[in-house]
Amino acid sequence: MGRRSIHSLRVMKERAERICMVTCYDYPSARAAEDAGIPAVLVGDSLGTVLLGYDSTIAVTLDDILHHTKPVVRGSERMIVVADMPFGSYQVSDDEALRNAARLMKEGGATAVKLEGGNRVVPLVRRMVAAGIPVMGHLGLTPQSVHQFGGNKVQGKSDADAAQILEDACELERAGAFAIVLELIPAELAREISTQLRIPTIGIGAGPHTDGEIQVWHDILGLIPDFLPRHSQRFAKLGTQVRFALENYRHAVREGIFPSKAQTVDSKPSMNQILAELFDELEAQHRADVEADIAAPVETDA
């Protein structure tokens, strides 16, 4: 059947079919997401905080995104794979941004790229789309600008800020973006944007009125037990289960329970070894027979 087209997301919006997305960073997570019927995934720069241990997404490089995009593509056949353009990969110049986006598609195999910003990136989005690069926009709280915002704060709370985000969304649609992520904005603003746009809106911390939702892999699976953003929910507690599994493994190794005979493979003897052992057995039996004959009493005629 081949990989989904970005246009399938617009069809889902027209059918009022909500779009489920999740971040994805490696081959096994891609396999799991596809098996679960997820239509699209984002190789997000959130990998900086959930995988690489940074305190923000700023330090993530283009090579980091490329490295993680490749296995996600290999692990999926149908899903749309959107690769994040990290901080510094599209701010220097439009020409450099085009080269970097092309790398994510040519080397990484991504279906599309995502970048943050409103009016300031509209000319770049227009150039990318004209060059054949599908672009997903990102408005509201844009994590690469977290230092400007003074933290992970809700955006668009004032009338002026809300109007600017709505205008930015419309401009991105006119520039050719095929979808827009709306992060940490009031629910009513997200409803207004989603109503006015023909392209899908994908929310995260934007309420229930967007055309779809995206969440971070580690958050919804409960892989980080001591942290959960307010806008997320644990649909499993895998972090606790992973810890228990490792504790059980440690105990089994220390107590000599693991590995057992079930996990042990005995070496198979070679044919030469088998023949040598058989010869030794025959020789030993021959010696025993000779010795028995010698020891037997000699019968004489009475």
Residue 78: name the closest of 128, 36, 136, 133 by CA: 36
Distance of CA 277 to the CA centre of its chain: 55
Residue 84: name the closest of 31, 33, 144, 170 by CA: 144
Residue tagged active-site, from 34, 116, 173, 183: 183
191 close to 202: Cβ distance less than 8 angstroms? no
Q: What does the alpha-carbon distance between residue 250 and residue 239 come to, in Å, rounded to a whole number?
A: 17
Active site residue 183: yes
The structure tokens listed for 283 are 């020789």
220 close to 239: Cβ distance less than 8 angstroms? no
Q: Where would I find the beta strands (DSSP E) of the chain?
A: 19-23, 40-43, 80-84, 112-114, 135-140, 179-183, 201-204, 212-215
Active site residues: 183
